[in-house]
Amino acid sequence: MPIVVDIDVMLARRKMSVGELAERIGITPANLAVLKNGRAKAVRFTTLAALCEVLDCQPGDLLRWEAERLADEATPTERHL
């Protein structure tokens, strides 16, 4: 998926555990792990807002877009390698 979740980065910067963050934002550690590991299909704005409040950050600090490279997007030189 082209959306990358960087919760680990913010947790390390804040010296906070996953369990503490889950408790402070009001979700289970299992659900936070799904989000943190990039397996979530969606995130509620209320959850995103709670993450930002507790971690003292902006949504862009937690989520970023990364292009997926597809074979048909490769340059002609790359296709022949």
Give pLDDT tens digits for 50-81. 999 999 999 999 999 999 875 455 555 555 55
- Tokens representing 61 are 């600090």
pLDDT single digits (tens) 34-57: 999 999 999 999 999 999 999 999
For the entire predicted model, the pTM comes to 0.79
Residue 57, burial from CB neighbour count under 10 angstroms (0-12, 13-18, 19+): middle
What is the amino acid identity at position 13?
A: R
Consecutive H or E run containing 11:
helix 7-14
